[in-house]
Amino acid sequence: MEPILPDKVQELIDRFAGEEIYLHLETTNGAYASHFNEKFFSAGAYIRNAKLIYEHGKIVGDGPYRVGLKLEIGWVYAEGLTHYGFDEDGHLLMAGHDFDGKLAVALQIGKTPFK
């Protein structure tokens, strides 16, 4: 993956607009942390292969970035994105890594389901 170039990522987001896509979105506190104690609370969200159509998408910020996808009746967005790339199936991969390089957020879109 490469550091996000906002103009390039915007162009890529625009390519998927108005088409049925599969979405992968997850947030973590880095490296899939999943514990809770009195001193630290970890939360996350995960959705994979949600089928949807977005009207338009937008990347904003000065880095880390936020990407929002406008749906017919709402929004999907991910905040804290730092890198982008593609997998072997042509999915657009966007990810945000924390200061230790651990995954904090992932937003991925493509025309085929994720494996």
34 is in which domain, residue-wise?
A: 2-110
CB atoms within 10 A of CB 30: 15
SS (H, E, C) the chain: CEECCHHHHHHHHHHHCCCEEEEEEEECCCCCCCCECCCCECCCEEEEEEEEECCEEEEECCCCEEEEEEECCEEEEEEEECEEEECCCCCEEEEEECCCCCEEEEEEEECCCCC
As beta bridge partners, residue 81 has 65
Is residue 34 very low, low, confident or very high in pLDDT (cuts 50, 70, 90)? very low
In degrees, rounded to 5, the angle at the alpha carbon of residue 6 between the alpha carbons of residues 52 and 2 is: 90
Quick check: is 87 in a domain? yes
* pLDDT above 50 (res 33): no
Per-residue confidence band for 101, with pLDDT thresholds at 50, 70 and 90: confident
Q: Is residue 115 part of a domain?
A: no
CATH number of the domain within which 7 lies: 2.70.180.10
Quote the pLDDT of residue 41: 63
Give me the mean pLDDT over the 29-33 stretch: 50
- Write down the pTM of the prediction: 0.87
Number of domains in the chain: 1
